[in-house]
Amino acid sequence: MDCRTAIGPSAITPLMTSHFAPNRRNFIRRVRSAAGSVGARCPAGLRCAPKAMLHWALGHPVSALFGGLCVLLGAMVPVWLALALLPDLGPLRPPGVTKLEQHFAERGYSLAAVTDSHRAVPRLFLKSLPKDWQQVREVERRKELFLLATLPLVLRENERILAERRRLLGLRDHLSDGGRMAPRDRAWLQRLAEKYRLEDVDLARLLRRVDAVPVSLALAQAAVESGWGTSRFVAGGNALFGQWTGDGEDAMKPQQRDAQQTHGIRRFDTLAGSVAAYMANLNRHAAYRAFRRQRAELRNLGRRLTGAALVTTLLAYSQRGADYIAVLRQVMTENDLARFDSARLSVPQVVVRPADEG
Give the chain's domains with CATH numbers: 3-84 (no CATH), 97-340 (1.10.530.10)
Q: Give the per-residue pLDDT at 348.
A: 78
Per-residue pLDDT averaged across 196-219, rounded? 96
Burial (CB count <10 Å: 0-12, 13-18, 19+), residue 238: buried
Could you report the per-residue pLDDT of 136-145, keeping only the tens digit for each?
Answer: 999 999 999 9
Instruction: Say if residue 62's pLDDT is above 50.
Output: yes
- Is pLDDT larger for residue 5 or for residue 216? 216
Q: Give the per-residue pLDDT at 131.
A: 93
Q: How far is the C-alpha of 193 from the C-alpha of 202, rounded, in Å?
A: 8
Burial (CB count <10 Å: 0-12, 13-18, 19+), residue 329: middle
Q: Give the per-residue pLDDT at 44.
A: 41
Q: Lowest mean pLDDT: which of 28-32, 118-122, 159-163, 335-339?
A: 28-32
Q: How far is the C-alpha of 229 from the C-alpha of 225, rounded, in Å?
A: 9
Q: Give the per-residue pLDDT at 260.
A: 56
Q: Give the per-residue pLDDT at 46.
A: 37
Nearest to 4 by CA among 40, 33, 35: 35
- Is pLDDT larger for residue 208 or for residue 246? 208
Instruction: Say if residue 61's pLDDT is above 80.
Output: no
Mean of pLDDT over the chain: 79
Q: Which residues pair with 245 in a beta bridge?
A: 264
Per-residue pLDDT averaged across 301-328, rounded? 96
Q: Give the per-residue pLDDT at 93.
A: 64
